[in-house]
A = this chain, B = another copy of it.
Amino acid sequence: MLRSVKATELKEVVREMLYEISQRAMELESEGKKIIKLNVGDPDQPTPKEIIDAAFEAMKQGKTKYSFYAGEKTLREKLASIHNVSAENVVIIPGSKWAFFSIMYLLLKNGGNIVIPAPYWTAYELAAKSLGVETRFLRTEIDSNWKIDTEKLRSLIDQKTRLLILNNPNNPTSKVIEKSLLEEIVEVANDKKVAIMSDEVYRDLSFVRTKSILDFGGNHILVNSFSKTFAMTGWRIGYVIVGEELAGKMVKLNQMTFTNIPVFVQEAALKALELKQKIAAGMRKLYRRRADLACKVLSKTGLKFTKPDAPFYFFPKYDNLDSERFAFDLLDNGVALTPGTSFGDYREHFRIALTMPEEEIKLGLEKICEALQ
């Protein structure tokens, strides 16, 4: 069905292929087919038991009612203390995607554009497109280790630019922006009076030292989520740290859309933060090992790839590959991955997520390597 679309619709379909493949893989699974899902950043580990128990306790205590649109005070205060901001700056949301959609909705209602380094996480572009926001891409290349060119960045920004979206560490490249480069990027943004929205959902699991946008002051926006660090993808909880004015607008939008995140989910998140050091250390170790394994297996092929700075993605390049066809063919063969075109104009690339047990990762990667030969 997907392959028979009209050419005019193709671009949109391509961008959404990440989601199409994800839904298709789930469907195949529910039909009983065995799929090695290297396509989604959804950790295979269960949510830690203590977190589940905290949710259950909260439910039993009756924390099943309407509550504050901004989120629970306890959770906001805890996050504020972690990030060294005021609780007024913290807004609890249903996952990081909500931040991109809602902030673009609020800041770009009356026009304007945003700048996004590519490759980029699909959700940014889909939200922008839905909202009619003009998107300008700053292409980076595997050959220069995905480095952002600040002069190019400067030239892309104009008077109508409202946001620069950074993803640090990056999905799909797992690249961390070095401190000195991040300083330069912030300088450009400050010069041009453009807010940076920094998606740092992989930062707590980073293999290398990773600066937060909040380390640089200014009126920039941090987006974070409990999904990856705590294997809580399906709980739908994340947060933003923003200036009070934007926080106020976001709270009003929460009020008229989803009201509040279930309080028992917020209690689970609070428990997660209490256990963060232990949980994050375990996760990091696990993903580090998987990344090493993937490096080893993939090195045997003609694939070009950069060593990941963070979980859980590889974004290798194979010359002359049509990654869309490749992804669909592989799915028929029991392995799901995402074509590079879902992350920008990267047809020769594909994304692998190391979110399966090691044995399956190994098997999946071997199937990929075979298919490329």
Chain A residues within CB distance 8 Å of chain B = 16, 19, 22-23, 26, 30, 40, 42, 46-47, 52, 55-56, 59-60, 62-69, 73, 94-95, 97-98, 101-102, 109, 123, 126-127, 130, 132, 231-236, 252-253, 255-265
Contacts and interface: CB of A to CB of B under 8 A. Distances in A.
Specify how many copies of this chain sit in the oligomer.
Answer: 2
A254 to B, nearest CB: 10
Given A98-B258, A258-B95, A59 B55 contact: yes
Contact of A64 (B22, B232, B252): B232
27 contacts: A16-B252, A22-B66, A26-B67, A26-B68, A42-B66, A46-B62, A46-B64, A52-B56, A52-B60, A63-B234, A64-B234, A64-B235, A65-B233, A66-B233, A94-B259, A97-B258, A98-B257, A98-B258, A101-B256, A126-B256, A127-B256, A130-B256, A234-B262, A234-B263, A234-B264, A258-B258, A262-B262
Contacts of A252: 16, 130
A123 B65 CA distance: 18
B231 A64 contact: yes
Contact of A262 (B69, B127, B235): B235
A37 to B, nearest CB: 10
A67 B42 CA distance: 10
B236 A258 contact: yes
Contacts of A95: 258-259
A256 B123 contact: yes
A33 to B, nearest CB: 16
A30 B77 CA distance: 15
A216 to B, nearest CB: 28
List 6 A-B pairs, minimum CB-CB distance, nearest first.
Answer: A94-B258, A65-B234, A64-B234, A47-B64, A56-B56, A52-B59
Given A67-B234, A109-B132, 17 more contacts: A19-B69, A19-B255, A22-B66, A23-B69, A42-B65, A47-B64, A52-B59, A55-B56, A56-B56, A63-B234, A64-B234, A94-B257, A123-B256, A126-B255, A236-B259, A236-B260, A262-B262
A253 B123 CA distance: 11
A89 B182 CA distance: 47
A247 B127 CA distance: 18
A1 to B, nearest CB: 13
Nearest to A46: B62
B56 A253 contact: no
A216 B30 CA distance: 35
A143 to B, nearest CB: 31
Contacts of A98: 257-258
Contacts of A123: 256
A94 B97 contact: no
Contact of A59 (B23, B56, B257, B262): B56
A126 B259 CA distance: 13
B23 A68 contact: yes
Contacts of A73: 30
A336 B97 CA distance: 35
A253 B46 contact: no
Contacts of A67: 26, 234
Contacts of A40: 66
Contacts of A260: 234, 236
Contacts of A264: 234
